[in-house]
Structure 1
Amino acid sequence: MGTTQTHAGSRAARRASRRPQVQHLITADEYSLADLELALATLPMCAVGRVFIEVPEASDIGVITAPPRMTVTWLARTRRGARPRATGEALRRAAIAWADEMLCDESGAGLRTEVILLGGWLSTVDIVDHLTNVRDVPAEAIHAPSRYGLFSD
């Protein structure tokens, strides 16, 4: 019986060691695709998380290479039969909805969140505000273009 518990305990430890320690949230728009590709290329192959990319129209959707456990979602501003969304609106809504779902409770205890925001200034400001003030993501875990002036050095 003691051997079974030890064996089961070592299996659980192996499973726990394979679980991701960091989840990623990455946003981009049509102007930051090169920066997005660079950011994704620097992630380990075992990285997990979500990438949201906002583009003007569905015809602007392309192919982005990301680690296999990263989910890439393209967001077109134009919708058939509706007026186009404001620039950054779809990106802001998607990132905040992801944060509210994935960072909603202690079920992810021990899982850090790293954020890279490459979209426009307006959506980035709103996302940073939500992450830091509502979801308690530390500012150090959020990376945005320095020209936005969101974080003091």
Structure 2
Amino acid sequence: MNTSTVAPMSAVARRVARRGIVQHLIAADESSLAELQALLATLPICATGRVFIEVPDASWIGPIDVPGRMTVTWLDRSRHTGRVGTGQCCGRGDALSRAVIAWADEMLCAETDRTRIHLMGGYLGTAEIVDHLVEHHGRAPQTIHTPERFGLGTR
């Protein structure tokens, strides 16, 4: 019986690990769009990775400049439900943490993974993502970039 909680490595994760490519995982919400744009402007044009942006509703969704090899996923809170089994509406950070954790579980499988992680959403969602990355993926908290005011990189 296999009791491992680590998912098998996806084909994309294997290719990234084999090539030694440094990818980026970036998460933001409506309160951090300016910081998101500033970060994206500093990335090299050949950067690869994923950007997740949680917003209250579709009126917030618009064009955003990212390097050509990066994928942007807009998460419209008004179209998502809250935590499973609660029957509640999607709270701030819920859709973002679910999406980022699911992506991490599929893509952060290699021991040599060097993904650069930037989390700019609200405190609760960011803390949940950091906890998952530390506990399930063995990431050192200081390697996960979060707003300094949250104090999440100093555990």
Give the TM bin, normalised by the shorter chain: 0.7 to 0.9
Write the distance in 1 (CA, Å) between the matches of 2:103 and 2:128: 14
User: Counterpart of 1:29?
Assistant: 29
| 1:70 to 2:70 alignment | yes
| 1:100 to 2:102 alignment | no
TM-score normalised by the chain length of structure 1:
0.79
Write the distance in 2 (CA, Å) between the matches of 1:80 and 1:134: 25
> What is the SS of the residue equivalent to 1:151?
coil
Q: How does 1:3-152 map to 2 (within 5 A)?
A: 19=19, 21-79=21-79, 84-104=89-109, 106=110, 110-152=112-154
User: Counterpart of 1:6?
Assistant: none
Shift of 1:141: 2.2
Name which one, 1 or 2, has greater alpha-carbon Rg: 1
Larger mean Cα displacement after TM superposition, 75-84 or 33-42? 75-84
TM-score normalised by the chain length of structure 2:
0.78
Distance 1:41 1:148, change over 3 A: same
- The answer to whether the Cα contact below 8 Å between 1:20 and 1:48 also exists between their aligned partners in 2 is no
Write the distance in 1 (CA, Å) between the matches of 2:73 and 2:137: 22
Structure 1 segments (4+ residues) deviating >3 Å: 80-84
Distance 1:83 1:60, change over 3 A: farther
Point out where structure 1 has 5 or more consecutive residues left out of the alignment: 1-15
Write the distance in 2 (CA, Å) between the matches of 1:74 and 1:67: 16
Shift of 1:128: 0.4
> What is the SS of the residue equivalent to 2:78?
coil
Point out where structure 2 has 5 or more consecutive residues left out of the alignment: 1-15, 82-86
RMSD: 2.4
Write the distance in 2 (CA, Å) between the matches of 1:22 and 1:136: 17
